[in-house]
Structures are given as structure tokens and as C-alpha cells.
Amino acid sequence: MNLLQTHCACALLLSSLTLTGAPVISEFMADNNSAIYDEDGDSSDWIELFNPGPNAVDLGGYFLTSDPAERTEWEIPGPAVLPSGGTLIIFASNKDRNVGELHTNFRLGRAAGGYLALVDPDGQTIIQEYDNYPEQFEDFSYGLAQTGATTTEILVPENSTCTVLVPTSDIGNTWRNFNFDDTDWANATTGIGYERSGGYENLFGSEGDVESQTYDTNATVYIRIPFSVADRESLTRLNLRMKYDDGFIAYLNGTEVASANAPAGAPAWNSNAGDDHSDSLAVTFEDTDITQHTELLQNNNILAIHLLNRSTTSSDLLCLPRLDAEFVSDPGLGEVGYFQQSSPGGANGTDQGLPAGPVSFSVPGRGFVGSLSVALSTESPSAQIRYTTNGDVPSTSSSLYTSPISITSSSLLRARSFEAGRAPGRVDERGYIELSNDAQSFSSDIPVIVMERFSGGPAASNGKSFTFFAFFEPSRRTGRTTLNGPYSLGTRGGWKTRGSSSSGFPKKAYSIEAWNELNRNKDIAPFGLPEESDWILNARSRFDRSLMRNAFIYELSNQIGRYAVRTRFVELFKNDNGGNLSYSGDYDGVYTFMEKISRDRDRVPVERLPTSVNRGPGIEGGYMLKIDRLDPGDSGISAGGRTLGWVYPKEDDATNTQSSWIRDYINSMNDSLNAPNYADPVNGYARYLDADSWVDHHLLNVLTLNADALRLSTYFFKTREGKVEFGPIWDFDRSMESTDSRDDNPSTWAGGTNYFTYPWWNRLFTDENFWQRYIDRYFELRDGAFSTANVHAIIDQMAQTLNESQARNFRRWSDQPRFGGYQGEVNHLKSWLATRLSWMDGQFAPRPAANRAAGTYPAGTTVSLNASLRAGQKIYYTLNGRDPRPQSEGDTLEGSTLFGTSQPVRVLAPAGNIGSSWQGGNEPFDDSSWRSGTNGVGYERSSGYEPYINIDVDDAMANRTSCYIRIPFNVAAADLDNWNFMTLQMRYDDGFVAYLNGTRIASANAPASLNYLSAATQTNDDGSATTFESFNVSTFFGSLRAGQNILAIQALNESTGSSDFLNQAQLVAGFDEGGGDGVGGIEYTGPITLSSTSRLVARVYDPSGGNSTSSGQTPVGTGWSAPLEVEYLINEVPAGPSNLVISEIMHDPYELGDDTTENGAFEWIELLNTSGGPVALTGASFREGIDFVFPGLTLNPGKRVVVVRDLAAFRRVYGTGRDVLVAGEFDLALENQGEELTLQSRNGTTIQSFIYDDESPWPREAGNGYSLVYDGGDPS
């Protein structure tokens, strides 16, 4: 549904408004969960504006406000013309967007006492207000009632009379108009198309089969359908419904009103559809609200349709339209009220009222023996209570409650209140479970779940069978769980057996979900876990006799910061056969109750991706996929060289456009992994995948020797602003020497899966930088979550939890513990992991250690390093925080574009020898006679290079193969001090030689001897020429100068007769953790004397490098150990409240954003050293408001440092030459209306914490491009 439009409805009178005919807020929703979604897929709150007057109104310049004291809170951008009866939807999301879909800079309050108003362009006069509005409820809207009778009429039914033409030449566009003469066209009735196999044949109307005219001839068909409208004035909604294969463009009286899979650009008489529309979707009506086009309607009309097939040889084609209209008679606007069925963009109807109140039960749901007497009550004395005991939803014909109800057997009691003038209340329910003697006496020290079927119930559409879930928890007083008492949570729901090979095991695992009264998903929060509807009862004791392998690795994953499903150990009773619940007949043993992998803010936080989101930026995120067996009925998605399964959205829910987008992204990722520049930190695989998440996912699987790793039960996802992240991990019952046998040996790199040579991963592990990241992360984790002590502590804690219940479980099932019993199973698991970790430690060069911890020391302090060195290994270190690992094996961490494709350049096609001064180094050089323009030089005599050429030199290059290019650019001195690498990126056809300030730094396809007549030694094919190729020019970093620089290029063509020529350059520089070309890396030979603050980084280097992972020795890729990093402060103190303040905040920048950069990208915060000495910022952090941790950094007295939201955006405004130290980019964003900011020291003490605001006593002019500046006094 496109809500960025005006909807024409009937002219309604609003007598209560003081300004007759003025626009009104006709409806709003302050707690939107699923009513409508915005372009990001978010369920943002929304406001509907309506024009009840007889004339069109331009809302541009009007204001919306949620604050009675700030009447100009958000201005509606113009033009926003509403016709008479038109509506406009604006999302109250706090996203502040005034182009395209409109979003205010505030959200709506749900609590009673809220405020919302529409204000005149004068900024003072209130047109309409909802002052002190009442409490708002989920998916209920609130607004003005619309009176009148509503009817629906089908203006264009299926099998409508039409005329049809398959064009053989261009007939122009007038065929779309009402008065076009179509007497020569063929007569038919809809639908139109053909079917060469089977599926559509029953949808075609009389003479509607056009196969003979279209197949192998033309993919376009023109269709004209006449219809009439008798009462246009009372029409309130117009809906076009289409069954189509593969695309269409619909015109109403000559104006385009809807389309799908239309070709790029203007459609032609022989156009093809831009994409495929699957057969399964084609036979279902797809709705498009075209109400905003109702002003086009006359008494007599033409619906013209340009039908499009994907190709002329497609096996089928279909167009079956239907046009529905809604009319309201005797309309009017009434009083305000609630609407259970919201109608954004449409007529509101009448006040539907809130539901009647809930029903209270005198006896909570519970297990019982004997009988119970349950009284029901509700707050309103005028309400009736109706109830059922057979599982049905109570209705007005159900039993009327008059006296307490006697419960003598297992029963599901459901009740609902009914009250005049109100909607029926919610359905409240309690389960009462009769216990046999052995269940009555049952006791456990862990929670218990009972699945009780009662007298039966419905099956859901997803195949899950009905049951009632009762969650019993240990008593706070005794610590024991018993069933003869109240449960902590009860709900109706569904279940089905889960698993592939495991579905045949005697002890079943179950997928379960909670249901609401409509048998749809309902969120619950059992055992204190975040609420959701879908859960799993996992039973993996066939391979895992410890009963904890999954829970253990999921806990470890969460500890390292990678979400895995949260778990609780439970015991399960499952009664499917009726009668009393018994231990002997219904006990099922120990299960791991866990979350299901699903999209949720507390699970996998990808964005919601409804079918309405089919363009950027919304379409760029919200995907969850898996490498696994496909779900029943799915065909998967072929991408990246493999077949992947859909997790979210479901395969049937993903649109063709969404499928194409993620398929293309994964294919691009795969291509980048296989490209020559795959390891390039900007244009290689790092552009598409989140390497840190891939490292962690791989380590968790390798650590446990998971037999199914990477090839089954493997999940990954992509958020809108993120790259592909691996995880969450899943299914580890066959790991850590389970009974599977492939995972037995703790001293090997492979177990069931060749982890280092599996597709995608095989390429990553040929990149030394990825390997180093992997090694460094492993040893980082060995200091924490992967420490042997922590691993053993997790196992011991879980074993203690299971110690009692495991005995009952193994009495129930035949699969028994090994190694002498359950404790032997636990001990063996601990031993296996200790051996595994020790073995993995030994596969890498040893990490060095220092004899002194980080801290403050006097000058002259000495530091000694040591490591268990083997033959040929040495320790290398630096004291400036840079990595001693050479740059050639380094990993670029931060890059800045010194100049890009929009840089001004000068160009000359030399006719003679002009010497070498033009190459730079001896400025100034007079190039004023050279041609000027924008970066991108060349010519194209056919097609392909046009997007990259800004200066066309076709004429100048006649009989020439060389072209000189000079590109001036500036570099700030402060940046030179922080950078150590430089990359030249080139698009070129066919060769070049590049000079930086007169020094030759790179070349391709250049002759050995160069002059002004030189040509390229070979061609660079067109496909490669348009992709930036990276050249590492860090060796020439010293040629960069503070101030102006010149990059000079001699661009070379292969011959004078070449049909094309191209040269376009970018230069990137930054800091590489590898430490440049090795300068600064010092071999350790003895104690180090500290004379100033030092940030020690040390590694062990093994010059023999690594060996194959299949050898059981050091893996391929690097001979460097993980780093030792220690900060020693000499005559310097850590950052604290006495020496550091937040000195300036840019929280609400000017509107500087564009299509690719939002306004918030220009936010920044400045800090000031207020002391008389240097301050170490290392480890200081923002913990509220934004998220940022300072790197190793010294701030001198009186100096300032900034942290920015987006470095590129910051430099776009403030340039690169400022004497400002940028510490880095922060995560999250600053709220325009104010929020809490907290700055902490390295040890966690608060340096500064306050809530800034846009209200007094804060400066009222702050915001809209003004910054907040610290002006003295108490900084807190």
C-alpha cells in the first residue's frame, strides 16, 4: 500500500471545527504494531490529514506538533496539495523526513494526557487539536468518526468487455486515452493471455487467448476496458486488483495509475517486463490503492493496460484486472473515538469503541486433585460474562455465567465479557489439570512444562496441533517445582515434531508456539526470557548424553557477544490421550527449552521486510537465510554458488524484487571473494561481509569440532545498514566427542566438515589478513570466554542444574551416559575441551608477555618481554601503538579518500615533448592552457564508458595514444601523522603511469621507455576497465605533502584506432594496523626503557610461516602471533572528571543530507582537556546516548578531540585541513530533542553525565544547525 499519496474521498462537513472547511487530523495511531508499515518496514505511528472542504488545500507550511508549547515542532513540506476529500498519511516516527514518504521529528505518546495538533502556517493558530487525549492501545486508531452508509461496487469485473491489440509497430500513446478510436482492435472479454503448459487456461475470457499474435513475436499487448461511474461525488476508495504474468502498466483515462515489473525508462510498443512474476503469485489478486487518482474519473471511462511478458518465448501470459470502488452516502464527520479497524487513507466509519473489560478468575490456572469451584467477575456491573469449557471462543450464545463453576476434571475454562456500546472483551482462559497420584507427588528442582490437550482443539494453518502449555516454576520458598498448585504461565498453542534425521528418534523434539483467541501467534515470556511466540523443546540425548552440548555452546556464543538462542533446562509432561496427568504415562524427560531462531529485536534484529518494501533503503536489509535442508514445499534461492533456504521473510512472503535484491547481493559477495582484489579492504570481500562475525562463527564451530558445521544448520543474515553476518550458531549435539564419532579427536582441524576449505571459507583463509584477524580473536577470547576456567565453569553450573533431573530422564529413555555415569560424561566433556583448547593454542606462534601491567610509571622504568620461543621465532614490538606486523601482511582499518571521481582535473593530449615538469614536484607548473573539467577522461565511440567520462578527448586524441592528466588535491598535516598506507584506485583503458609530486608510484601496461608518443603495451578489456583496480602505493607514502599535492597521470591507449579510451583515478590513504612497511617494528633483545608514555604492541614472528590445516600444524597464512598490547603512562594521567569535559555537541545539524546521506550523519561531539598536562584517553567511553570507546590517544593541555557520526560527512562540511583530532566514528545517534549523555573513564567511573535538551534552561536556539557549547561551571 502506497501511503505517500493523496486519497480522494467525499467532502465531509465538520461542524465542530472553528474554521469551516479547514484540513483536519482525521485519524492517528500512537501504538502501531501491524496496521501499516513505513518504507523501512517499521511499524511507525502515523497521522492522517483530511481535507473536508470543497476546494483543494496546500498543506505545505502547516505544522504538526505533539507539544502544546511548541506549535512549530514539525513543518509539512510543500507542495502537499490535498484535493477536496483528499487524505495524506504522515508517519510520526521521529525519523524527520520531508522528501518522499513524510516522517515527523516526534513520536506520539500512548499514555493518557497526550497532545496532537495541526497548526496554521502562521505558526500560532491551532486549526485542530487533540488535547489531553485518552490512553491509546495497540493497533487501535483514534480520531473523528465518519458517518454514512458504505457500499462497494465492482466497476470493472472479471470477464469485462474489452478491445485488444498486439502492436506490430509504434502507434504512439493516444491509445491510452478515452477518446481513442479502437474500432479496428479485436473484441474480447478479460482475462487476456495464453498458456502453453497448464495453470492459466481457466482464467481467459472469450477471444482472450493471444498466443498466435504474441508468442515469439512481441511481449507487449495493449488492452482497453470501458466502464462507467454513476455517482463520483460519493466515491471514497478505488482499488485496482490484478492477476498478471509478468508485468503491466495501467492507465486511467490516459494517466498512469499503477504498474508492476515495468521496463526501465519509457515503455515501447515491443517492451518486455522488467522481471518475472511467478505463476503461484500470478493467480492471486494483487491490490493497488489508486484512490488518489479518482479525480480522473468521468461518467464514462477507459482503463487501458499495457500487458508485458518477460520474453516473447515465455510459456504463459496473463492479465485479469478488476476495479473495485467504495461509496459513502450521507457522509459526515462526528465525534472523536476509537477504531478497532483503522483505515489509513480511507473512510473511518463510526466509533467502534474499546473492548469490554477483562474477566477475573477466583482460582488461578493450576494442577489439582478432587474438584475446584471457580468464580468469574468483571469490573463493569452492566457487563455479562459468557464462558465455555470445550475450547470454543465464548460468544453471545455461550453459557451465561451466574454462579461459581465446578471443575471436576481437566478443563480449559474460557470466558469473555460483553457490554452494550462496547466491543466484545478479550478472551481470558485458565487451564485446570487434574493430577494422578504419581503426578501429585512429583517434585523437581528445575522448571516443568506440561502439554495438556484437554478435550482436543483445532490445528493451525501451519500444521501445528493444539495443546495447552502450562509452565511451572520452582517455588521461591522451597526451590522445588510441584504440579499440585498454580502454574506461572499458561496459554493455548500448537506443536509439531521438529528435526530432519532426529524426527525418527524415540525422544522427540518439538516446535511450539503460543496462540491468541484467533489461533494466531501470541507473544509470551516464559521463565523470564524476552517475549516471543515461537519456541523449541529440544531433545538431543541420542548423541548428547551430557544433555547440555547445545545449551553450553549457545551460552558461550552469547558471552562473546554473538547472539545465540537463550535456553532453560526443563522437564516435560505431555498428555495427548486424555484423562488425568500422570508421571508414569506422560513424563517425557529432560528437555532444553529454547528460543527459535527468528526475526525479533531480542533475537536476530533484522528489520521487518513486508511485501510493500521494494526499493532502497528499505529493501537493503531484513534478510535471514540458511545453509540447510529446505523447508517442506520450498525451492530455495540460488545465490553465491549454492542453494540457500529462506528463514525471513518466508519464501512465499518474499517479493520477486526482494528475492532479486538479496540474490544479487550474495552473488556480488561471492564474486568479490573470487576476484583478483578479493583482499582489498575497500573493494574486496570486506565490502559485503562482516569479517568479525564470520571469524566468531567459525571459531565456535572449530572449537567444538561440530560435525555439521557450515554445511547444515548454518544461518546468516543481513541488516539494512550492515553486511552479511554469520550466525546465530545452531545444532551442536554432534560435537565435542558426542556419540557421532566424527567429532572424537580434539587434536585435529577437521571433523565432519573441512572447515578451512569449505566454499566461501576456502577463499577467506587464503587472505593473510583474515587469518591474522582469526588468530588475534582466538587469543583475545582465550583471555575471557574461551579460558579453560570459564568453559569448565559453564559446564559445572549446567551439570549442577541437571544433576537431579538427569537421573529421571535416563530412567525414561534407553540412551544412557557413557564413562561410568552422568558425572563421567560431564568430566569427559570438560577434559575434551581442555585438550582441544591446549592443542589449538599450540598451533600458532606463542603470544608474548610483559613483566609489568598497564599503569602509570616514572620515566626510566624498564619492561621485559618473554615468550616460549621455538626455533627461529623472535619478538618484535613498537611503542607507538602501531602493529609490528609488516604492512604487506596488514589489514587496513581506516581509509580516507584524498580525492574521488568529482575532483577537478586538467588534461592535455601532447603534440610534442613538453618535458617532465608537468608530473609535479616542482610546482607551480603552468597548466592554465590545459583543458579543465571533472575527473574521468576518455572517449567512447560505441557504448560502455559513458558514465565514467566527464572530459571527452575524442577529437584531441586523434592520431595520439597518450594523454596527460594533472589532479591537484590537499592533505592536512594532522592526517599525515596518523596515516601509514596509500592505495591508488584506477579505471583505465588501456594503460597508465602515475606520478605523485614527481615520483613515479604505479603503472599498468606501460612500455619500458616512456615518451609523449607512447602507447599501452596491451589492451585492458572493457569489463575490467570500468572496475576500480587497486594499486598499493604505500611505499611512496613519504611523497605526500601537507598542503597541495599533484597526482599526474600519463594515460595510455593501445592504438590510435581504438574505439574507446578511459582514465579515472581515486587516491585513498589511512592507517593500517600492520605498521607500514615494517619501519617502527623493533626486534626485542633486552629490557625496554620507558622515557615517555608508550603504547606497547608486541608479537612473536615465525619466519617459517604456517603449514596446511590438514597437517595438524600451524594453519596457512601467517607466522605472526596474537598481539600483546599494554599502555604505560609516563608523566601522564588517565582521563577523568578533573581533566576532561564535553565541550560542544552538534546534535541537530543543518539539513545537509541527500539521497545517500541522512542529516544525522553530520553529528559530532567535542571533548576538551581542561588540565595543565597531557591526558590519556585510552579506554574512555560513551555509554549512554552514543556508543564509542577511545583508542590509544593522548590529548595535550587545552587541546580538543571530536568523535563523529560519519567521518566522510564531517569532512564534507569541515574539510580535511582543520587542526582537529578526530578520534573515530561513534555508533547510534544523538536525539534532536535531547537525551542522556554519559562519558566514562577507563575504569568505569563517570567523567560527565547529563541530559541535554531543547528546552529551558538549555538555549532555545540550539538545534537546526546550532551546536551546544560548554560555557563553564559544573560540567555535570
Among the ranges given (290-294, 350-354, 571-575), the one the predictor scored with the smallest mean pLDDT: 350-354
List the beta strands (DSSP E) in 109-185: 114-119, 126-133, 141-156, 161-165
CA-based nearest residue to 378, from 347, 348, 416: 416
List, for residues 833-855, the tens digit of each pLDDT value.
Answer: 999 999 999 888 899 999 999 99
Q: Which residues contact 813 (CB under 8 A, 6 or more apart)?
A: 506, 507, 541, 589
Supply 1269's cell numbers. Answer: 557549547
β-strand pairing of 448-452 with 567-575: parallel
Q: What pTM value is reported for the model?
A: 0.69
- The pLDDT assigned to 1160 comes to 82
Q: What's the mean pLDDT in 664-670?
A: 96
Would you place residue 17 in the very low, low, confident or very high pLDDT band (cuts 50, 70, 90)? very low
> What CATH number should be reported for the domain whose range is 24-139?
2.60.40
Measured on CA atoms in the order 649, 652, 656, 660, is the torsion positive or negative? positive
List, for residues 811-826, the tens digit of each pLDDT value.
Answer: 999 999 999 999 999 9
CA-based nearest residue to 993, from 1042, 942, 1065: 1065
Name the phi and psi angles at 1094, rounded to 5. -130, 135
Tell me what percent of the residues of the chain surpass a pLDDT of 70: 92
Measured on CA atoms in the order 1117, 1120, 1126, 1132, is the torsion positive or negative? negative
List, for residues 603-660, the tens digit of each pLDDT value.
Answer: 999 998 988 788 888 899 999 999 999 988 888 999 999 999 999 999 988 988 999 9
Residues facing 999 on adjacent strands: 996
List, for residues 1057-1068, the tens digit of each pLDDT value.
Answer: 999 999 999 999
Collapsing DSSP to helix, strand or coil, 30 comes out as: coil
Measured on CA atoms in the order 53, 59, 63, 66, is the torsion positive or negative? positive
Residue 1142 has a CB neighbour count (10 Å cut-off) of: 21
β-strand pairing of 1221-1225 with 1200-1204: parallel
Q: What is the mean pLDDT of the chain?
A: 89
* Fold category of 152-326 in CATH: Jelly Rolls (2.60.120)
H or E element that contains 692 = helix 691-704
Rounded Cα distance, 522 and 491, in Å: 9
Rounded Cα distance, 100 and 741, in Å: 59
Pair 23, 81: CB distance under 8 Å = no
Would you place residue 1107 in the very low, low, confident or very high pLDDT band (cuts 50, 70, 90)? very low
Supply 234's cell numbers. Answer: 460519493
The amino acid occupying position 240 is L
Residue 1057 has a CB neighbour count (10 Å cut-off) of: 8
- The pLDDT assigned to 4 comes to 32
Q: What is the DSSP letter of 484?
A: S
String of DSSP letters for 63-91: EEES-TT-TTSEEPPS--EEPTT-EEEEE
The amino acid occupying position 562 is R
Top CATH class of 1133-1269 equals mainly beta
Distances (CA, A) of 470 to 389, 640, 802: 17, 44, 21
Strand arrangement, sheet containing 411-418: 366-368, 428-434, 411-418, 384-388, 399-400
Q: What's the mean pLDDT in 768-778?
A: 93
- The pLDDT assigned to 1105 comes to 64
Q: What's the mean pLDDT in 208-228?
A: 97
Pair 675, 668: CB distance under 8 Å = no
Angle 88-114-134 from CA coordinates, rounded to 5°: 95
- The pLDDT assigned to 305 comes to 98
Supply 869's cell numbers. Answer: 620461543
String of DSSP letters for 427-446: PEEEEEEEB-HHHHT-EESS
Kindly tell me if the per-residue pLDDT of 236 is higher than 90: no
Measured on CA atoms in the order 601, 603, 606, 611, is the torsion positive or negative? negative
Would you place residue 1260 in the very low, low, confident or very high pLDDT band (cuts 50, 70, 90)? low
Residue 724 has a CB neighbour count (10 Å cut-off) of: 22
String of DSSP letters for 253-313: TTEEEEEESPPSSS--TTPPPSS---HHHHTS-EEEE-GGGGGG--SEEEEEEEEE-S-TT
Kindly tell me if the per-residue pLDDT of 1079 is higher than 50: no
Pair 490, 469: CB distance under 8 Å = yes
List, for residues 902-941, the tens digit of each pLDDT value.
Answer: 999 999 999 999 999 999 998 999 999 999 999 999 999 9
β-strand pairing of 161-165 with 186-189: antiparallel
List, for residues 30-66, the tens digit of each pLDDT value.
Answer: 999 888 888 887 889 999 999 888 788 999 999 999 9
Pair 521, 531: CB distance under 8 Å = no
H-assigned helices in 728-880: 761-764, 768-782, 788-802, 805-812, 822-841
Largest CA distance in the chain: 110
Kindly tell me if the per-residue pLDDT of 306 is higher than 80: yes
Pair 241, 287: CB distance under 8 Å = yes
Kindly tell me if the per-residue pLDDT of 734 is higher than 90: yes
Supply 1054's cell numbers. Answer: 593501445
Would you place residue 318 in the very low, low, confident or very high pLDDT band (cuts 50, 70, 90)? very high
Kindly tell me if the per-residue pLDDT of 294 is higher than 90: no
Kindly tell me if the per-residue pLDDT of 1212 is higher than 90: no
List the beta strands (DSSP E) in 1149-1262: 1164-1169, 1175-1176, 1181-1184, 1188-1189, 1194-1195, 1200-1204, 1221-1225, 1236-1240, 1246-1251
The amino acid occupying position 1153 is G
Rounded Cα distance, 198 and 990, in Å: 53
Pair 240, 190: CB distance under 8 Å = no
Kindly tell me if the per-residue pLDDT of 179 is higher than 60: yes
Compute the chain's Rg from CA coordinates.
35
Kindly tell me if the per-residue pLDDT of 1071 is higher than 80: no
- The pLDDT assigned to 871 comes to 82
Q: What's the mean pLDDT in 787-796?
A: 98
Kindly tell me if the per-residue pLDDT of 1080 is higher than 70: no
Q: Which CATH number fits domain 355-432: 2.60.40, 3.40.50, 2.60.120, 1.10.3470?
A: 2.60.40
Would you place residue 10 in the very low, low, confident or very high pLDDT band (cuts 50, 70, 90)? very low
Name the phi and psi angles at 1082, rounded to 5. -110, 135
Distances (CA, A) of 1063 to 935, 963, 964, 987, 1205: 8, 9, 10, 6, 33
Strand arrangement, sheet containing 931-934: 931-934, 904-908, 962-971, 1043-1052, 991-996, 999-1004
Residue 1113, CB-side half-sphere exposure with 13 Å CA sphere: 10
**How far from chain centre, in Å, is Cα 905?**
39
List, for residues 752-770, the tens digit of each pLDDT value.
Answer: 787 887 889 988 988 888 9
Q: Which residues contact 581 (CB under 8 A, 6 or more apart)?
A: 367, 410, 433, 434, 435, 436, 439, 450, 452, 483, 573, 575
Kindly tell me if the per-residue pLDDT of 1256 is higher than 70: no
Q: Where are the chain's structural domains? A: 24-139, 152-326, 355-432, 435-538+566-602, 618-786, 849-889+1077-1130, 892-1072, 1133-1269
Rounded Cα distance, 1194 and 808, in Å: 61
CATH 2.40.50.140 fits 892-1072, yes or no: no
Whether the domain at 152-326 and the domain at 849-889+1077-1130 fall into the same CATH topology? no
Pair 729, 557: CB distance under 8 Å = yes
> What CATH number should be reported for the domain whose range is 849-889+1077-1130?
2.60.40
Q: Which residues contact 266 (CB under 8 A, 6 or more apart)?
A: none
